[in-house]
Structure 1
Amino acid sequence: MATLHKSIEVNVPVKVAYNQWTQFEDFPNFMENLVEVRQIDDSHVHWHAEIAGKHKEWDTEIVEQIPDQRIAWRSMAGSENQGVVTFEPIATDRTRVSVDIEYQPETAMEKVGAMLGMVSSNVEKDLQNFRDFIESRGHETGAWRGELH
């Protein structure tokens, strides 16, 4: 499994950053490779991405969700991956969003891309896009405040 860690600081309160991150169906608005995300129920999400011209789909289960703190997931079908995103208040209106991901590159091209840091670069760019998205709005598009353990 390949692993990566990325974080970014966003100029919004932790509640706003967290609430926006719970809106999985909005992810294609700031994550470049995502075509569609469908929330099946409170703990299951279907993902559809286009990466290097190839379509990939997978299903994830949210295994832990604590409002304003963390969301952890694991894949159930399709591309093997798991991870956690954490939210740390730095100031009243500033939050550090950190992402830790473990994933299994499947094809030779994916393995080369992982070795060259392409996935890491994509996650970094997606976090920058998230920051720009939420800071330009100043508020979240929705929220899910439930807990999963």
Structure 2
Amino acid sequence: MSKVEESVEVDVPVRTAYNQWTQFEKFPHFMEGVERIDQLTPTLTHWVTKFGGVDREFDARITEQIPDERIAWTTSAGEVQQAGVVTFHRLDDHKSKVMLQLDYDPEGFAENVADKLGLVKRQITGDLKRFKEYIEEQGGEAGSWRGEV
């Protein structure tokens, strides 16, 4: 298993950052390679991705969700094997930190090479930077789900 840990500070309250992150169907707006995410149930999402010319589909199950604090998940069906957690930290009334930790198992030659070259880490860094731009430009969340898992 490989691990990536990255974070970004966003100029929005922690509640706004968390609420936006619960809108999984909006991830293609800031996550490179994510073609589509379908929210099947409150705890199950179906992902369609394309990285380096490789198409993948998988399901991810939310294993823990605490409003304004954390969302944890693991893949449950498909070729992709990963688990992760995103945590939200209040820095002040108008600023928060989003931290992402991801454990994943690179599949095949191309993914293993990308992992060794640090391309996965760079992609996650870019995704978090684009999340920052997306949420700050919007000025507010596109929706929210405040339930607990």
Q: TM-score, normalised by structure 1?
A: 0.98
The aligned residue for residue 100 of structure 1 is 101
Q: Residue 62 of structure 1 aligns to a residue in which SS?
A: strand
Q: Segments of 4+ in structure 1 off by > 2 A?
A: none
Counterpart residue number, 2:122: 121
Letter in 2 for 1:29: H
| Aligned counterpart, 1:33 | 33
SS at match of 1:142: coil
The equivalences for 1:1-149 within 5 A come to 1-78=1-78, 79-148=80-149
Per-residue CA distance 1:43-70 (angstroms, 9 max, x = gap): 0000011100111111010000000000
Query: How many residues of Structure 1 are paired with residues of Structure 2 in the alignment?
Result: 148
Structure 2: segments with no counterpart, 5+ residues: none
SS of 2:128 mapped into structure 1? helix
Q: Give the whole-Å Cα distance in 1 for the aligned partners of 2:121 and 2:24.
A: 20
RMSD: 0.4
TM-score (norm 2): 0.98
The unaligned stretches of length 5 or more in structure 1 are none
